[in-house]
Structure 1
Amino acid sequence: MPLCVPEIRGNEWQYVKNCLDTSWVSSVGAYVDRFEQKMAERLGAPFHGVATVNGTAALHTALLVAGVQPDDEVLVSDLTFIAPANAIRYAGAWPVLIDAEPGCWQMDPQQVELFLTRDCEMAGGVLRNRQSGRRVKAIIPVHILGHPVDLDPIMELAGRFDLVVIEDATEGLGGHYRGSPLGGIGHIGCYSFNGNKMITTGGGGMLVTGNPQWAEKARYLTTQAKDDPLEYIHGELGFNYRLTNLQAAMGCAQLEQLDAYLSAKEAIADRYRQELCMVPGITPMPTVDYGQSAWWLYTVRVDPAQYGMDRKTLMQRLAAEGIQTRPLWQPLHLSPVYRQAQRIGGEVSEQLNSSALSLPCSVGLSAAEQQRVIEALVRLGG
């Protein structure tokens, strides 16, 4: 039983076939424009979408259009997949790793405030890190597992210190924060359409922003910074980051099913929560009153003292029964490539990494399959 696999149930075959029949298969075509428009429409006016080859490319491009320069610093979630930190380095900047908060496992706004007020100072109208002397330019809160970050305090801090907020909503498509779609609250939002995401184009991503100049700049940079429609004149360093029409066709079909997918994910999450809340040593995934999770990966915490085994042993025991699960990412401050990065906290991220386990939660997960997972968790504990 796989952890999280794509669901293909709509117009994918029809739209992809149309691309093949018309030979519009590369990085231009009607489906690219349509996919960008439909994604922007889900966020409401006046958003603009720029499709990219993957979510990491969207993050890299977002940093560049936001004005992040070499040797700047960008705050980013410590507990996340490594992609946003890598995107910061692609831009020549440096990550500052912000711990998770224990309630809902997201970037801790209090730690953000602690860094900005204790470790930084304004000099000549520029916010600088006292320790490194570098300019602090942006914040990348990552909505891990589809759950919303508490964004109001982060947006307030960004306004106070003149920082750009780039939401990493690569796992949060369809989630909401205080009624607003994740990815549409910060200055720029980024999504991923990898094979295991809420919707998929096989690979792919998108940058969204309400700033039309930034959207135009992103489109320019992702198409090799070509200055003339005919002549090959390039004014800046650009990138081959555009999504293909073939992939966008699949994305259009997937987006048509998003609401149904979200309903299925929520039903799976509700059942896990109801069935597992009484299992000693298993803590269901948290919920909050300020937002609605997209429930991308349903994740529990395992207390070895109460459950009878740690999450690593449980993962192995479930694998032996053909049930795929997955740990959370190693906190970035423990990753060899980022061990020298400045971090604020980190203890909560380590605790979550050691105890959290993601359970099968594909959109197409049947009731019988989910019951099998639940029964295995009940039987193996104690």
Structure 2
Amino acid sequence: MAALREVLDSGWVAPAGPAITAFEAAIADATGFPHVLATASGTAALHLAFRVLDIAPGDEVWAPGFTFVATVAPAVQMGAMPRFLDVTPESWTLDPDLLRRELAAAARRGRLPRAVVAVDIYGQAADLDAILAACGRWGVPVVSDSAEGLGAAIRGRHAGRGALLAAFSFNGNKIVTAGGGGALASDDPVLVARARHLAGHAKDPAPHYQHSVTGHAYGMSSVLAAVGLAQIVALEDRVAARRAIFARYAAALADVPGLAFMPEPGWGRATRWLSAVLVDPALFGADREALRQALDAAGTETRPVWKPLPAQPAFRDAPSAGGAVAAGLFAQGLCLPSGTGMAREDQDRVIAAIRAACRG
């Protein structure tokens, strides 16, 4: 409230002012990226990433199929063709071995993708080192969709570090929220400067309004920046709280047959932004949907994990490689209540409802 009052009293409510500069600096400090642009949303950040990479109609953009639609929607709206690759059971993120094979096949066809998008899922960072190595052989740029990855780590560095561009989200349900908003980050100051130009309607330097190209109204307001700035200082505390919630679920439900929690590979530290579980109906005695409905009847909101994009009607004609792992995750995966402020008695109620639904 103090941060909001300060911004409102200053008169800076537009996408300009010291709160935005301070929030961008705080994001840089939290992620290790030296150059950051605060944006109106995480989707806007991804759109700007595709713009500065000069994605054109007919280009291919590759991404894991197990993700939210915003990962590829801006590129598709720019005329690109998505190609979806499967994920690994180890991390639920893009399969580097499959990526290597598909890139080699694409090189033989003479049609490499214009970009590959790695995606952090539910607070779990993608294996960016392996993805970068695969793409580096063919000179394919990597964008990290780290909308769900703020606070996650891979081999001692923040999620997204190493990608040419990384997009973050501060939507209302994220581990740090501004009530909305996002950020585009990079080690390349030229790319971020170009994105900043496009985010402000691409106004040319002139005393009048002049535009050599068209841009977007993608700047973050100072009001949202003030909210985000007040929250991001508590990022590590929030990661610890989410991990504790996940650990309590895992311990309390360890003896329930047919339940398996989202794994954490040894090369990364997940934030456990969402606690996700797989339900084996043969062992649990009910499938994921039956469990979801039982929890709903008990007053607990849950949600299936991401429906794979190749199964979405919007992408019925898009090519894909693999997909069995993602399909299996969707068939069995459920996201449990995981909010940082979740009371212990509320989590006890969820745990009890899950145990009551088990028929195994």
The answer to whether the Cα contact below 8 Å between 1:184 and 1:208 also exists between their aligned partners in 2 is no
Instruction: Specify the SS of the correspondent of 1:71.
Output: coil
Higher relative contact order (CA 8 A, sep 6+): 1
Which residue of structure 2 aligns with residue 25 of structure 1?
13
Work out whether 1:247 is the aligned partner of 2:224. Answer: yes
Cα deviation per residue 1:117-151 (whole Å; 9 max; x = unaligned)? 123337xxxxx43xxxxx52111011111111112
CA distance in 1, matches of 2:49, 2:274: 25
In the TM superposition, residue 95 of structure 1 has moved relative to its aligned partner by 0.9
1:202 partner letter: G
In the TM superposition, residue 103 of structure 1 has moved relative to its aligned partner by 2.0
Query: In the TM superposition, what are the counterparts of 1:118-137 in structure 2 within 5 Å?
Result: 118-121=105-108, 128-129=110-111, 135-137=112-114
Query: In the TM superposition, what are the counterparts of 1:10-21 in structure 2 within 5 Å?
Result: 13-21=1-9
Cα deviation per residue 1:270-328 (whole Å; 9 max; x = unaligned)? 11121222210110121111000011110000001110111011101100000111101
Query: In the TM superposition, what are the counterparts of 1:179-258 in structure 2 within 5 Å?
Result: 179-228=156-205, 230-258=207-235
What is the identity percentage for the equivalent residue pairs of Structure 1 and Structure 2?
37
Which residue of structure 2 aligns with residue 5 of structure 1?
none
Report the more deviating stretch, 83-92 or 357-366: 83-92
CA distance in 1, matches of 2:158, 2:356: 39
Cα deviation per residue 1:86-130 (whole Å; 9 max; x = unaligned)? 0211332111101111222111111111211123337xxxxx43x
CA distance in 1, matches of 2:77, 2:329: 28
CA distance in 2, matches of 1:245, 1:173: 21
CA distance in 1, matches of 2:262, 2:104: 32
Instruction: Specify the SS of the correspondent of 2:346.
Output: helix
The answer to whether the Cα contact below 8 Å between 1:60 and 1:87 also exists between their aligned partners in 2 is yes
Cα deviation per residue 1:203-261 (whole Å; 9 max; x = unaligned)? 10000000010010010010000112532111111111100011001010011111111
Instruction: Specify the SS of the correspondent of 2:262.
Output: coil
Query: In the TM superposition, what are the counterparts of 1:288-307 in structure 2 within 5 Å?
Result: 288-307=265-284
CA distance in 2, matches of 1:66, 1:109: 22
CA distance in 2, matches of 1:141, 1:225: 28
Which residue of structure 2 aligns with residue 152 of structure 1?
129
Alignment partner of 2:61 out of 42, 53, 74: 74
Alignment partner of 2:26 out of 24, 31, 38: 38
Query: In the TM superposition, what are the counterparts of 1:347-362 in structure 2 within 5 Å?
Result: 347-362=324-339
2:7 partner letter: C
Report the more deviating stretch, 288-297 or 223-232: 223-232
* TM-score using structure 2 length: 0.97
The answer to whether the Cα contact below 8 Å between 2:204 and 2:210 also exists between their aligned partners in 1 is yes
CA distance in 1, matches of 2:96, 2:7: 45
Instruction: Specify the SS of the correspondent of 1:263.
Output: helix
Residue correspondences, number: 359
Which residue of structure 2 aligns with residue 363 of structure 1?
340
Residue ranges of structure 2 left out of the alignment (5+ in a row): none
In the TM superposition, residue 66 of structure 1 has moved relative to its aligned partner by 2.2
CA distance in 1, matches of 2:214, 2:319: 29
Instruction: Specify the SS of the correspondent of 1:305.
Output: helix
Instruction: Specify the SS of the correspondent of 2:114.
Output: strand
CA distance in 2, matches of 1:156, 1:234: 39
Instruction: Specify the SS of the correspondent of 2:108.
Output: strand
CA distance in 2, matches of 1:244, 1:179: 32
CA distance in 1, matches of 2:42, 2:108: 32
The answer to whether the Cα contact below 8 Å between 1:284 and 1:301 also exists between their aligned partners in 2 is yes
The answer to whether the Cα contact below 8 Å between 1:144 and 1:171 also exists between their aligned partners in 2 is yes
Instruction: Specify the SS of the correspondent of 1:36.
Output: helix
Which residue of structure 1 aligns with residue 86 of structure 2?
99
In the TM superposition, residue 364 of structure 1 has moved relative to its aligned partner by 0.4
